[in-house]
């Protein structure tokens, strides 16, 4: 099902603005002068094949990589001008959902969720910590997993706990790196639904990188097609794929999921 456009998107208030962003690794150009705005309350999906530069793009947004050229403004901050302390403060306002879920194998679910909270908000009482953990677990539908170890969770549950661990800091921006990778179709639908629920419950703005057309159609208020370091088209799902551009048609055919 295609995503219904969210009326609360503020198209006058970009929370992410990229202008002329370039990034190369050695002699390999990955991003070739891309421009992108993400508005408050909006889910933007960046589509592209593996190796197209999607992961590099969101790592630049998060300040984990520096562009070779161009400007990156996130939540009103020019990332290039920030010192280490200021950049860390900005990152605390950004939730990063890694493809691998990035849970600590030696910690149970509760400890995985508590770790970022006590590290970033040391003033919280034990009761406040317990309440925050209970809330995010309830929001991702996994309240009963509190004392389970990551090895006891399914792939879909790990994804949900990984998302919960980012939500516990109540981020303003969510960055999702291939959120449905490695999941079966039913679990993928559940993760797509959760991304939309997070947008509503937490009023987040999100960048979702994926090559999964079903994920893109379900979660994106706007889609951007990235190919060979440049953006080819952007708009709704139907607008992006209503084209004779062979690069976009080939990408559609390359997917094994029928997203219509």
Q: Per the domain annotation, does 122 fall within a domain?
A: yes
> Looking at the structure, do residues 103 and 82 belong to the same domain, yes or no?
no
**Cα angle for residues 113, 140, 132 (degrees, 5° grid):** 40
Residue 257 confidence (pLDDT)? 46
Q: Per the domain annotation, does 187 fall within a domain?
A: no
Would you tell me the crossing angle of helices 155-167 and 185-202 to the nearest 10 degrees? 10
Q: Per the domain annotation, does 131 fall within a domain?
A: yes
> Looking at the structure, do residues 217 and 159 belong to the same domain, yes or no?
no
Work out the mean pLDDT of the chain and round it to a whole number. Answer: 91
pLDDT in tens, 212-251: 999 999 999 999 999 989 999 999 999 999 999 988 988 8
CA neighbor of 103 nearest in space, from 62, 67, 145, 69: 145
pLDDT at 195 over 90: yes
Q: Note if the pTM is more than 0.85.
A: yes
**Cα angle for residues 42, 10, 81 (degrees, 5° grid):** 80
Exposed / middle / buried, residue 126 (Cβ in 10 Å: 0-12, 13-18, 19+): exposed
- Classified as helix, coil or strand, 205 is strand
> Looking at the structure, do residues 100 and 166 belong to the same domain, yes or no?
yes
More confident residue, 36 or 6: 36
Rounded-to-integer distance, Cα 180 and Cα 190, Å: 9
pLDDT in tens, 114-170: 998 888 887 889 999 999 999 999 999 999 999 999 999 999 999 999 999 999 999
Rounded-to-integer distance, Cα 165 and Cα 158, Å: 10
Q: Cβ atoms within 10 A of the Cβ of 102, count?
A: 14
Q: How many domains does the chain have?
A: 2
Domain that holds residue 101: 94-170
Reported confidence tier of residue 35, pLDDT bands at 50, 70, 90: very high
pLDDT at 256 over 60: no
Q: Per the domain annotation, does 195 fall within a domain?
A: no
> Looking at the structure, do residues 176 and 256 belong to the same domain, yes or no?
yes
Q: The domain that contains 19 carries what CATH number?
A: 3.40.50.300
């Amino acid at each position: 099902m295609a995503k219904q456009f969210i009326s609360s998107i503020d198209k006058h208030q970009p929370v992410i603005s990229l202008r002329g962003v370039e990034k190369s690794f050695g002699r390999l150009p990955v991003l070739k002068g891309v421009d992108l705005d993400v508005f408050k309350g909006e889910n933007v999906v960046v589509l592209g094949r593996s190796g197209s530069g999607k992961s590099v793009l969101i790592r630049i947004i998060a300040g984990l990589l520096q562009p070779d050229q161009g400007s990156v403004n996130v939540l009103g901050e020019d990332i290039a001008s920030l010192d280490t302390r200021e950049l860390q403060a900005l990152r605390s306002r950004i939730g990063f959902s890694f493809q691998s879920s990035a849970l600590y194998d030696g910690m149970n679910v509760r400890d995985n969720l508590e770790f970022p909270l006590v590290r970033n908000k040391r003033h919280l009482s034990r009761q406040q910590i317990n309440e925050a953990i209970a809330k995010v677990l309830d929001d991702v539908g996994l309240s009963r997993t509190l004392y389970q170890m990551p090895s006891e969770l399914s792939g879909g549950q790990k994804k949900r706990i990984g998302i919960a661990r980012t939500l516990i800091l109540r981020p303003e921006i969510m960055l999702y790196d291939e959120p449905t990778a490695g999941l079966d179709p039913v679990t993928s639908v559940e993760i797509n639904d959760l991304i939309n629920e997070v947008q509503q419950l937490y009023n987040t703005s999100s960048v979702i990188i994926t090559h999964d057309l079903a994920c893109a159609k379900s979660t994106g208020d706007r889609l951007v097609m990235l190919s060979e370091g440049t953006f080819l088209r952007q708009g709704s799902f139907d607008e992006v794929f209503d084209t004779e551009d062979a690069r976009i048609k080939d990408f559609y055919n390359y997917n094994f999921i029928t997203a219509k």
